[in-house]
Structure 1
Amino acid sequence: MIRHRHSRGARTSRSLCAATALVAALALAGCSSTGGPTTTSASSTAAKSSGEAPFPTLTAPALQPPQQYNVGRPDVVFDPCTWIDDETLTKLGYDPQSRSRSVADIHGEYTFLSCEYKSPDSVYSLGIMSGNRTMAEGRAKYTSDGDQIQDTTIDGRQAMIVREKAGDFCSVVLQDKVGYIDFDRNIASYLITSGPVPERCSGMVDLVKSIIPRIGDN
């Protein structure tokens, strides 16, 4: 489950934003005959996000991001629900059919677009939040929570590995051009019936490296 750690105050206009995005998506994008996600070139319907992906993105109406209302910050570009292809998810051990849009944080001062994935056995859940808050703001939030922060770089990008004080979550926070992307994983250890439970951050850096090509030069 994605926990919206970055929220402050009421999420105003969220229903209106989602409805507006859905209407726009229905007008611009189509679904496959089976109702599953289809793809489109970024140049044809790039209006669904404020930037363009250098590859086809998913066009299923239910997955499209809400409209953003940023004041004093750039729009969020990378959308974790429509920019990560099924092949990448499958290679990482997650079920593409589990893809679900989480409620976005839409504020006048910042935005986070969120998506959640699960492994076929539901042992692993992965939440990805793409936002326009700065790395310094992210660090301040994790520090105030008493989380353990390990600085690193991943493919030349500034990053933090965060082991939370409360709970068994591991986050990798990766800098992008408008802010940062938070990869947040939880292991349901009670579902593991054989073998040891993996260390909570085991394999997370490799996971992020595998998704970076889907972020592109953003």
Structure 2
Amino acid sequence: MGGWGRTALGAAVIAVASACGPAPTTVVDDSTTGAATSTTRAPRIVDDSGRPDITFDPCLDLPDEVMSAAGYNAAHKEFADMPMGSYTFLGCEYNKPDLVPGVRRGYGLNVLSGNVTLDEELKKNADVAIPTTVNGRPALREVGPSGNDECTYALQTSFGIVLFNRLYNKDHAGPVARDEWCAGMEEFMASVEPYIGDSP
């Protein structure tokens, strides 16, 4: 995981649940039309930094069917929130349990939605970050931000960034080829990008 995640995990991971619950929304009855209207959900955590509130919650706003279709176990996703005072990340952990004995043990995926900017992320991981786009959205691709077998995409949003950090859990002796660390991530990112909201 990139520098934000290392710093945040080293300081505090305050909430881990065995599964994320349904999105807490408020429904308002419009008496003139009889229609029900959903309001925007308040973020689970806010900080005193003056940074924007995080409006995308990875455990609540990524559809389970999309994550399941990608092979991740949405039934066992876990909250992993990181309030740091000067910035915040709302996190969600997934596993991709596609064991292939002697080949791989599957992937671990952390999705972190934070109110830091894409420029801040680039400065933090400039040695491994390459500017790119996902479905036209400004993004960074980071190969090995915290070590071997790791791939991260940082996507720009109106409040900051969403990080998708995947760890390849190998099931064989010797190293995983570097060109495999991000294998399949481009297609996966294209499938989840529409759910994270507008970019500025």
TM-score category (smaller protein): 0.7 to 0.9
Question: RMSD in angstroms over aligned alpha carbons?
Answer: 3.3
Summarize deviations over 1:107-146 as a string: whole Å, max 9, x none.
2211111101011335111110000101111111112xx4
- Candidates 82, 105, 119, aligned match of 2:60: 82
In 1, are the aligned partners of 2:23 and 2:61 still within 8 Å (CA)?
no
CA distance in 2, matches of 1:38, 1:108: 25
Aligned to 1:136: 119
CA distance in 1, matches of 2:19, 2:180: 34
Aligned to 1:199: 180
CA distance in 1, matches of 2:178, 2:125: 25
Aligned to 1:115: 92
| Residue 69 to residue 46, structure 1, CA distance change in 2 (3 Å) | farther
Amino acid at match of 1:127: N
Q: Which moved more, 1:183-192 or 1:80-89?
A: 183-192
Aligned to 2:193: 212
The answer to whether structure 1 residue 176 and structure 2 residue 153 are counterparts is no
CA distance in 1, matches of 2:118, 2:65: 29
Aligned to 2:30: none
Structure 1: unaligned runs, 5 residues or longer: 23-34, 51-64
Q: Which moved more, 1:114-123 or 1:129-138?
A: 114-123
In 2, are the aligned partners of 1:160 and 1:174 still within 8 Å (CA)?
yes
- Candidates 42, 47, 50, aligned match of 1:72: 50
Aligned to 1:186: 167
> Aligned residue pairs: how many?
177
Larger RCO, structure (CA 8 Å, separation 6 or more): 2
Q: Which moved more, 1:176-185 or 1:159-168?
A: 159-168
TM-score, normalised to structure 2, is: 0.74
Aligned to 1:154: 134
SS in 2 for 1:182: strand
- Candidates 42, 49, 57, aligned match of 1:49: 42
SS in 1 for 2:189: helix
In 1, are the aligned partners of 2:20 and 2:79 still within 8 Å (CA)?
no
CA distance in 2, matches of 1:108, 1:93: 34
| Residue 36 to residue 9, structure 1, CA distance change in 2 (3 Å) | closer
Structure 2: unaligned runs, 5 residues or longer: 28-37, 99-104
Summarize deviations over 1:167-203 as a string: whole Å, max 9, x none.
22100111011111110001111169xxx99711111
CA distance in 1, matches of 2:21, 2:7: 31
In 1, are the aligned partners of 2:47 and 2:85 still within 8 Å (CA)?
yes
| Residue 178 to residue 199, structure 1, CA distance change in 2 (3 Å) | same
TM-score, normalised to structure 1, is: 0.68
